[in-house]
């Protein structure tokens, strides 16, 4: 398989493009369908691992990595005190599960002891860069996911949060709420109807291509909040790397953000594996590293979380994913 053929699955697809359902209930674009099936081979893994590392915001200096400092979270010996509280849930979101969960077979999982910690200071960096996504699917069904800002008007998330094969295609609308805490929306919200994903998910439904982005409408309401950097790193760098994750878990009080961290256990050409605790609703959340650059810490997304199974899994940001993210970030500039 040539590099050109492999990259077709990473071809960007927009919700503005017309998708025409066939009689059999499948979807067909007006453009030619290449019908490619892809299975990574060992040779392809080695080829992609040899790629140079790429970062959206170039950085220099000694490489040091750590996890976020979160009260109650200890990498060596975690002690968590949870304070359950009654939170008002809007009627239309009662008993709402993760959007697109019928499209894949590995729901997010708690791996052993549940040591997630609730984030309450959601107006601070980096927590305000994480967004609760309240989704109305094509068939009217409600669902929840997590997203993360990579630009003033661009939010990364999982492809199945944007395009659900079981719900009929692209979402009708998604309300994006940065830093949501229970029913509090400290920065307000925006409703989006412009989405991006790739052929590998929209056409082929392959989990290793399950990623996409939301393009928010103008004005640039969330520009002052900041956004994550992102990077495509070598397998050598990624193996055993300490990484962070935060998401809006469906088993916790509505609209609350939960953190966990750990090491990457396994790296393949298109996915990352880890024992970080997640649950339905975390799909689309950022797997990020915290790196010291010139005396200060910076955050770079390296994966888009989406699947469970212990180890849980993320789509790895490799060169084609990185390039799509840069393109989508540019589309969402102010």
| Helix (H), strand (E) at residue 45 | helix 42-49
The pair of three-digit structure tokens given for residue 243, joined into one six-digit string: 């990484």
Task: Calculate mean pLDDT across residues 61-75.
Answer: 61
Confidence of residue 107 (pLDDT cuts 50, 70, 90): low
Q: Say what the pLDDT of residue 297 is.
A: 87
Residue 19: helix, strand or coil by DSSP?
strand
Check if 165 is active-site.
no
In the chain, where the domains are located = 52-71+96-331
Q: Say what the pLDDT of residue 112 is.
A: 85
Pick the catalytic residue from 12, 15, 101, 160.
160
Confidence of residue 82 (pLDDT cuts 50, 70, 90): very low
Task: Calculate mean pLDDT across residues 64-77.
Answer: 64
Q: What percent of the chain has pLDDT over 90?
A: 61
206 torsion bin: left (phi>0), alpha (psi -120 to 50), beta (else): beta
Pick the catalytic residue from 101, 109, 269, 283.
283
Confidence of residue 35 (pLDDT cuts 50, 70, 90): very low
Q: Please write the tens of the pLDDT for every residue from 187-222.
A: 999 999 999 999 999 999 999 999 999 999 999 999
Check if 160 is active-site.
yes
Q: Please write the tens of the pLDDT for every residue from 166-183.
A: 999 999 999 999 999 998
49 torsion bin: left (phi>0), alpha (psi -120 to 50), beta (else): alpha
Res. 60: pLDDT tops 90: no
SS3 percent helix, strand, coil of the chain, rounded to 5, is 15, 35, 50
CA-CA-CA-CA torsion for 250, 253, 255, 260, nearest 10 degrees?
A: -70
Between the alpha carbon of residue 333 and those of residues 2, 179, 184, 251, the distances in Å are 33, 21, 27, 35
Between the alpha carbon of residue 164 and those of residues 55, 98, 198, the distances in Å are 30, 11, 13
Q: Say what the pLDDT of residue 7 is.
A: 72
115 torsion bin: left (phi>0), alpha (psi -120 to 50), beta (else): alpha
pTM: 0.80
Q: What is the CATH number of domain 52-71+96-331?
A: 2.40.10.10
Q: What is the DSSP string of 266-333?
A: EE-SSEEEE-----TT-TT-EEEEEEEETTEEEEEEEEEEEE-SSSEEEEE--HHHHHHHHHHHHHT-
Q: Say what the pLDDT of residue 108 is.
A: 65
């Amino acid at each position: 398989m040539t590099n050109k053929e492999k990259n077709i699955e990473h071809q960007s697809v927009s919700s503005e493009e017309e998708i025409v359902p066939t009689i059999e209930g499948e979807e067909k674009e007006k453009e030619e369908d290449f019908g490619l099936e892809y299975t990574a081979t060992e040779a392809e893994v080695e080829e992609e691992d040899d790629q140079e590392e790429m970062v959206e915001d170039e950085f220099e200096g000694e490489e040091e990595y750590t996890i976020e400092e979160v009260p109650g979270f200890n990498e060596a010996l975690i002690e968590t005190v949870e304070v359950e509280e009654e939170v008002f849930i809007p009627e239309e979101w009662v008993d709402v599960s993760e959007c697109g969960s019928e499209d894949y077979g590995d729901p997010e999982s708690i791996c052993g002891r549940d040591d997630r910690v609730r984030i309450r200071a959601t107006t601070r960096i980096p927590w305000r860069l994480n967004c609760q996504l309240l989704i109305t699917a094509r068939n009217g069904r409600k669902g929840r996911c997590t997203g993360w800002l990579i630009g003033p008007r661009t939010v990364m998330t999982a492809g199945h949060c944007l395009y659900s094969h079981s719900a009929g295609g692209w979402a009708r609308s998604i309300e994006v709420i940065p830093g949501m805490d229970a029913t509090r929306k400290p920065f307000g919200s925006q409703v989006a109807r412009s989405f991006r994903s790739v052929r590998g998910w929209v056409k082929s439904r392959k989990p290793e291509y399950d990623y996409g982005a939301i393009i928010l409408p103008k004005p640039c309401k969330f520009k002052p909040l900041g956004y994550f950097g992102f990077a495509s790193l070598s397998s050598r760098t990624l193996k055993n790397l300490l990484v962070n994750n935060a998401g809006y878990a469906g088993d916790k009080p509505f609209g609350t953000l939960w953190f966990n961290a750990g090491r990457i256990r396994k790296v393949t050409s298109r996915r990352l594996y880890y024992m970080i605790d997640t649950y339905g609703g975390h799909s689309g959340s950022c797997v990020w590293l915290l790196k010291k650059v010139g005396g200060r810490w910076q955050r770079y997304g390296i994966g888009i979380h989406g699947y469970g199974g212990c180890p849980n899994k993320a789509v790895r940001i490799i060169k084609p994913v990185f390039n799509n993210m840069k393109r989508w970030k540019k589309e969402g500039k102010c």
